[in-house]
């Protein structure tokens, strides 16, 4: 399977490494398109595939084209790709917000998939939601799911609006986790821990809590109840979280992310 990845940043490189590591394609069949000679040289040093500077040289002949540039760069990219994409080629866009209808119109091609991965894809622990146009065949969808699954778990969603919602939950989600971790590290530092100790206490607590959650069928509320002693410390923390509207703040953050994804699509 010949794959072209356009945009060799965080996500583009992650895909390239995952596909080659999982042997879903070979280095020879994997192409990366960069937008400047400097980026071509920098990407080539990663040795994950052949690196190209001009779309007309690398678009023809590939089966799948992955668009991994920032949404703000999509207009310029569409200009570069005008007239080059063939109707049998499957497009996978991971650009936040950019709608399937926009991709179809701009590229003049019917087989379009919108996917929303996240950064833990770098270590095979990613979460990707994806959806497609009707023209993508069942066999192509299976092929794409195999590709995306090299970076972690995947879920197919029927409704495109769920891609913007997943952008706000799982796409941006790792940043919310780091935000909470950083706040707890700051609390630990205020209580006298050295930075390395604060980092250890917090990171191992997140790791352990998530692993425990994954291994049993209990809800978050159930686990909170198991940590909390009557009249104890956890209850005091939960009361303070309630008074300072931490939960509402996180929900407001995720909602703002979803709204921004919708806005990027306009």
Ligand X SMILES: NC(=O)C1=CN([C@@H]2O[C@H](COP(=O)(O)OP(=O)(O)OC[C@H]3O[C@@H](n4cnc5c(N)ncnc54)[C@H](O)[C@@H]3O)[C@@H](O)[C@H]2O)C=CC1
Ligand Y SMILES: O=C(O)[C@@H]1CCC=N1
Annotated binding-site residue? 53: no
- Which value, to the nearest 10 degrees, does the dihedral of the CA atoms of residues 247, 249, 250, 252 take? 120
Rounded Cα distance between 34 and 54, Å, is: 8
Binding mask 38-67 for ligand X (x = CB under 6 A): -x----------------------------
Rounded Cα distance between 24 and 30, Å, is: 10
Cβ 91 vs Cβ 85: under 8 Å: yes
Annotated binding-site residue? 118: no
Sort 25 into a burial class: Cβ within 10 Å, 0-12 / 13-18 / 19+: buried
Annotated binding-site residue? 68: yes
Contact with ligand Y (CB under 6 A) among 30, 34, 68, 96: 96
Rounded Cα distance between 111 and 77, Å, is: 18
Residue placing its CB nearer to ligand X in the complex, 11 or 257:
11
Annotated binding-site residue? 192: no
**Is residue 32 part of the contact set for ligand Y (CB under 6 A)?**
no
**Is residue 171 part of the contact set for ligand Y (CB under 6 A)?**
yes
**Is residue 128 part of the contact set for ligand Y (CB under 6 A)?**
no
Scanning 167-175, 190-198, 203-211, 238-246 for contacts with ligand Y by CB under 6 A, the matching segment is 167-175
- Contacts of 200 by beta carbon, 8 Å cutoff, 6+ apart: none
Positions in the binding site for ligand X (CB under 6 A) = 6-12, 33-35, 39, 68-71, 73, 76-77, 80, 94-96, 116-119, 171
């Amino acid at each position: 399977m010949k794959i072209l990845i356009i945009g060799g940043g965080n996500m583009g490189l992650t895909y390239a490494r995952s596909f080659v590591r999982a042997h879903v394609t070979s280095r020879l069949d994997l192409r990366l398109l960069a937008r400047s000679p400097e980026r071509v040289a920098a990407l080539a040093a990663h040795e994950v595939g052949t690196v190209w500077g001009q779309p007309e040289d690398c678009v023809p002949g590939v089966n799948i084209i992955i668009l991994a540039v920032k949404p703000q760069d999509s207009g310029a990219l569409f200009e570069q790709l005008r007239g080059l994409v063939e109707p049998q080629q499957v497009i996978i866009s991971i650009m936040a917000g950019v709608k399937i209808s926009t991709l179809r119109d701009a590229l003049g091609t019917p087989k379009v998939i919108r996917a929303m991965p996240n950064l833990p894809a770098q270590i095979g622990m990613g979460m990707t939601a994806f959806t497609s146009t009707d023209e993508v065949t069942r066999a192509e969808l299976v092929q794409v799911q195999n590709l995306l699954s090299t970076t972690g778990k995947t879920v197919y969603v029927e409704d495109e609006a769920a891609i913007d919602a997943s952008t706000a939950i799982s796409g941006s989600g790792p940043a919310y986790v780091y935000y909470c971790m950083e706040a707890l590290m700051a609390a630990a530092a205020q209580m006298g821990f050295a930075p390395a100790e604060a980092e250890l206490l917090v990171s191992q607590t997140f790791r352990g809590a998530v692993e425990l959650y994954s291994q049993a069928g209990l809800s978050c509320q159930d686990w909170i109840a198991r940590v909390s002693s009557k009249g104890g410390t956890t209850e005091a923390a939960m009361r303070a979280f309630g008074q300072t509207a931490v939960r509402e703040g996180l929900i407001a953050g995720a909602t703002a992310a979803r709204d921004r994804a919708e806005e990027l699509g306009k």
